[in-house]
Amino acid sequence: MDTTTYGDWIRAFDETRPERLARLERGDPDWPAGVPPNPAIRRGVRRFQVGEDGYGAEPITTAEAAGDTEYASAVRMFVAEERNHARLLALLLASGGTPVMASHWSDHFPRCPGRPDTTVGPV
């Protein structure tokens, strides 16, 4: 996607809305059928799932404080998409009898919400 403003990103996201809605109508995979977990993949998916799930409030607050409504809207859309990924990964893990992680040590580092003019303070 070759975009130059957050408004372009929002329009592109809106253009793909029918595709996302079609996936929702089809529903989630048949999770109760189960997925036998490969130990190496299970570890990676667990770590990725907790990262997708634990991110959101801080970048939304930061984006809203920046005063750019398009930026704040784009961040809210991004966070909602990441939370849906976390939900799907949690269902995948549960189908193989693997619990999700409550947290990971790397979640305690400051994050930059992705805006070029934003800096991360001292650790």
**Which 8-state DSSP code applies to residue 99?**
P
Burial readout 100-123 (b: 16 or more C-beta within 10 A, e: otherwise):
ebeeeeeeeeeeebeeeeeeeeee
- Chain segment 98-119, per-residue pLDDT in tens: 888 887 666 666 555 554 444 4
Predicted structure pTM score: 0.65
- Chain segment 54-75, per-residue pLDDT in tens: 667 788 899 999 989 999 999 9
CA distance 58 to 64: 10
